[in-house]
Structure 1
Amino acid sequence: MSLHYEVVLTCVLQDDTPDAVLAALRWHLGLAPERPAELDAEEHSYPMLSPDPDSRLPGGDFASLRRQSRGFTAAGDERHAWGLFSRNLWLDDMMGDLYTVMDLLSPHIAEPGYCGHFREEFDAEPTSLTFREDAFGPLKL
């Protein structure tokens, strides 16, 4: 019998995140129908963050990627960044794929620190996910 995990990603990506990375994220989130040609089909074999319409998580799965205002510069110019939020139910044999997602995101993080969590669906305590500069915190899967 498999365990199920709630996987939540919530982070801010730099405004200059490359189009190829944004295209990959859109595909992983189920917001684009085709895997981008630049993605390795073996490493990115399925849309990892795509919401399951039949998810048994309370409130269901969710995916969002949008360009957001992040305030203003000292010169008065508006700053922007990409806000990512995803919540999915993953089987335990999918949890290793979290490395693939974190590797895709980590070079483009605008704000190091907390970026989400995962927890076995009946656990009360989640395991936090964190980003450092160009890397992510150790994962204890």
Structure 2
Amino acid sequence: MSLHFEVVFTCFLRDSTPDTVLEALRWHLDMVPERPSGLNADEHTFPVLAPDPDGRLPGGDFASLRRQSRGFAAGRELYSWGLFSRNYWKDDEMGELVTILDLLAPYVEEPGYGGYFREQYDSEPTVFTFENGTYGPLKL
């Protein structure tokens, strides 16, 4: 019998995030049907952030990527790409966590909290953070 995990990503990506990264995220979130042509199929094997309509988490799986206003500075409006996903993963899918973290980390706008994962029946999550283009800590 396998273990199951709740996996949550929540962060802002810089407005200047390359279109290739945004398209990869849209594919992982199941917002576009085709894998982007430049995305390595060996590394990005399936859309890991796609919400399951029959998900087992209370309230279900969820996925969102949208350009959001973050306020004003120097007389202009500031924007970022807001990412939020919550999915139910099997233990053999947890290696994909690194694939998504590697995709996000270089473009995260603000250092700090980036999400968590927790085994379905655990009360304590394992939090991951972003800082200086990388992430940590991970104890899988």
**Which residue does the alignment assign to 2:48?**
48
TM norm structure 2: 0.99
Name stretches of at least 5 consecutive residues in structure 1 with no aligned partner: none
| Cα distance between partner residues in 2 of 1:87 and 1:138 | 19
How many corresponding residue pairs?
140
Counting aligned pairs with the same residue, the percent is 66
Deviation at 1:38, TM superposition (A): 0.6
Partner AA of 1:125 in structure 2 = E
Q: Counterpart of 2:15 in structure 1: which amino acid?
A: D
Rounded Cα–Cα distance in structure 2 between residues aligned with 1:41 and 1:96: 15
> Equivalent residue for 2:64?
64
**Alpha-carbon distance, 1:138 to partner:** 2.3
After TM superposition, which residue ranges in structure 1, 4 or more long, deviate above 6 angstroms?
none
Contact kept, 8 Å, 2:68 with 2:82, in 1: the verdict is yes
Inter-partner Cα distance in structure 1 for 2:104 and 2:133 = 9
Secondary structure, aligned partner of 1:93: helix
- Alignment TM-score, normalising by the size of structure 1: 0.98
Q: Give the gaps of 5 or more residues in structure 2.
A: none
Task: Quote the RMSD (CA, aligned, Å).
Answer: 0.5
**Is the aligned partner of 1:132 residue 2:131?**
yes
- Do 2:12 and 2:109's aligned partners in 1 also have CA atoms closer than 8 Å? yes
**Equivalent position amino acid for 1:118 in 2:** F
SS in 2 for 1:6: strand
CA distance in 2, matches of 1:57, 1:95: 17
Q: Give the whole-Å Cα distance in 2 for the aligned partners of 1:61 and 1:85.
A: 11
